[in-house]
Amino acid sequence: MTKNQKVWPVFKRLFQYMLPMKFIFIASVIALIVYGSVDAVFVWLLKPFIDEGFAPQHTIGGEPSVDVLAWAPIVVVMLFVIRGLANFVSTYGLAYITGKLVMNLRQEIFERYLRMPVRTIDNHSAGRLIAKLTFDVEQVSGASASVLTSMIRNTVTLLAYTSVMFWYSWKLSLCIFISVPLIAILIAYVSKRFRRISAQLQQAMGGVSAVTDQVIKGHRNVLMFCAQEVEAKRFYDVNERNFSRKLKLARASAISQPLIMIIGSFSLALVLYLASLDGIRQELTAGAFASFFTAMLSLFQPLKGIMGVNNTFQQGIVAAQSVFNILDEPLERDLGTMKIDRAQGRIDFKNVTFRYEKENRAVLEQVNLSVEPGKTLALVGRSGSGKSTLTSLLARFYDDLETGKILLDGQDINDYALQDFRSQMAVVSQQVTLFDDTIYNNIAYACGLDIQREQVIEAARLAYALDFIDELPQGLDTQIGENGVRLSGGQKQRIAIARAILRNAPILILDEATSALDTESERAIQKALENLSHGRTCIVIAHRLSTVESADEIAVIDDGRVVEKGTHTALLEHSGVYAHLYNMQFGEV
């Protein structure tokens, strides 16, 4: 284990989340101590109950003393009332702490996801990220309240019983320590094994979430390709792996507890043997031996409880480590300090070279492009040539250029404060993302409370979306399902375009924005985009060259390089790569 994987640093960090609730925690711990002590007090009272309760009554001044057994019921009821109150305070208090801990951790992880660099999200499957937010965080509660309840209560009970034993016979009590080293070695070994298997279980559970997430998202493809058996087999493999890890944990737990009982039985046997010797028997009354022996037998229950909760504790520690690994992931870098109200919109790519992490080949090489404010630049070329990467770099999804820089209004884009910078852009991607909400809320997404309904309607009109919105049962207030499942591809595209129109940003990025539209809808959208582009800088990525004929400049990207630039007419006259692509699309080659 590396240093940061050791138990104490993880538990110490986890404990920091409990500090704001320290008063509830202290009250709960005190209640646990009281709860753990009550049983030992009852065992301690066995001696006077037996020795005095069943002996002839003593007299004081000729009058008989109060019979011990007469007030014993009152004592027993009082002890159990105290025990019940302590149990309520500790259980409720630690349940509150655990619930708050889980809520805070989930909130922190979710907000970390919102601020993670795109590169980090690319390196993790969605299923595993979801598993950390749900399964792992829930497991962390095992290292907090439930463990604290058992550990503190059982430890106090263990110490209290041991104190009773020493109170009545320190000689016999020493026998218990014969088995302590063996039990300690066993617990240390089992704890290490629990942590190792728990780490494997976390990975297996992440695999279950990942496969499930992929199948649900690709459900139509699974049905279309008749791949049910393939996916069922894939899920069975990860599910069976998860099952085998759980069996290993159960096996380790099932073996360790009986072993502790067997080891402890040798101490118990030794006590019984020594108690039969005359020297020891003369030192103990019947009540004292009953209290001692009951306390010793009772030791096994808290010891078993501590060992039983060890499994949960180790799983919680591993889960906490997994959670903290995510929380330690770096956030998006935002070193810019320049504020910007509304950009003019000039964009310059100067000698930009970029490669993705762990890739040998550069995706973009020495790219030089410029867009004047209010003009439209179209990027065309084969799939994988680097067109979308250019817009990702412009949006600062990746900020580690190998060479060159990107400028907005003559200033390096990294000099701007990130939020201010991105507020200058509206994006419509070929992969439309809609939320399980109303059409209205999807169009007005993240626009603030000052947006008026009339503005949303106008944006929908400009995007030629009102035609189908008005036909829906609740119009703008129609729920569209997860990722707009109740809408066609073209309808989703128009909702996304309406969202970009409403944002009213000076820079528009259209990445295959009309790819899912039929010819009639495409013409309508082109008219809307032509109106929208006035006074705004537009970068358009398109495979269908008919959508970019009116662009102020067209750049042809091939294998990460700009191989041609010019207007539609000029590029056709040049008879180069663009002319070849155009002729292929329109059947002239």
Q: Where are the beta strands (DSSP E) in 372-463?
A: 376-380, 403-408, 411-412, 425-428
Does this model's pTM top 0.85? My answer is no
How many domains does one find in the chain?
1
Whether 521 contacts 463, CB under 8 Å: no
Whether 208 contacts 239, CB under 8 Å: yes
pLDDT value, residue 37: 82
Torsions phi, psi for 21 (to 5 deg): -110, 30
Specify burial of residue 519 (Cβ count, 10 A radius: 0-12, 13-18, 19+): exposed
Whether 340 contacts 413, CB under 8 Å: no
Query: 280 lies in a domain?
Result: yes
Query: 207 lies in a domain?
Result: yes
CA–CA separation, 92 vs 95, rounded Å? 5
Whether 162 contacts 299, CB under 8 Å: yes
From the centroid of its chain, how far is CA 163?
Answer: 45
Q: Where are the beta strands (DSSP E) in 413-528?
A: 425-428, 507-511
pLDDT value, residue 59: 44
Six token digits for residue 315: 């799983």
Query: How many residues appear in the chain?
Result: 589
Torsions phi, psi for 511 (to 5 deg): -100, 95
Query: 166 lies in a domain?
Result: yes
Query: 449 lies in a domain?
Result: no
Query: 194 lies in a domain?
Result: yes
Structural domain that includes position 157: 3-327
Six token digits for residue 246: 């759980």
CA–CA separation, 296 vs 176, rounded Å? 8
pLDDT value, residue 275: 66
According to DSSP, the β-strands at 537-541 and 376-380 are parallel
The pLDDT profile of the chain, 589 residues, written as one tens digit per residue, is 444 446 778 878 887 888 888 898 889 888 888 887 887 787 777 777 777 666 555 444 444 445 666 677 777 788 888 888 988 898 888 888 888 888 888 888 888 888 888 888 888 777 778 878 887 888 787 666 666 777 777 788 888 878 887 887 767 767 666 666 666 676 666 666 766 776 677 677 667 777 777 776 666 666 666 777 877 887 888 888 878 877 777 777 677 667 766 766 676 677 667 766 666 666 677 777 777 777 777 777 777 677 666 667 777 777 888 888 888 888 888 888 899 889 999 999 999 999 988 778 889 999 999 999 989 999 998 888 889 899 999 999 888 899 999 999 999 999 999 888 988 988 887 778 888 888 998 898 877 767 888 999 988 888 888 888 988 888 899 888 877 778 877 788 888 888 888 888 899 998 876 665 666 666 666 666 666 677 789 999 888 787 788 888 999 999 899 999 999 999 998 888 888 888 887 765 4
Residue 173 sits in a domain whose CATH number is 1.20.1560.10
SS3 assignment, position 362? coil
Query: 513 lies in a domain?
Result: no
pLDDT value, residue 21: 87
| Residue in 475, 490, 568 with CA at minimum distance from that of residue 524 | 490
pLDDT value, residue 63: 45
Query: 309 lies in a domain?
Result: yes
Query: 521 lies in a domain?
Result: no
Give the number of other Cβ atoms within 10 Å of residue 79's Cβ: 16
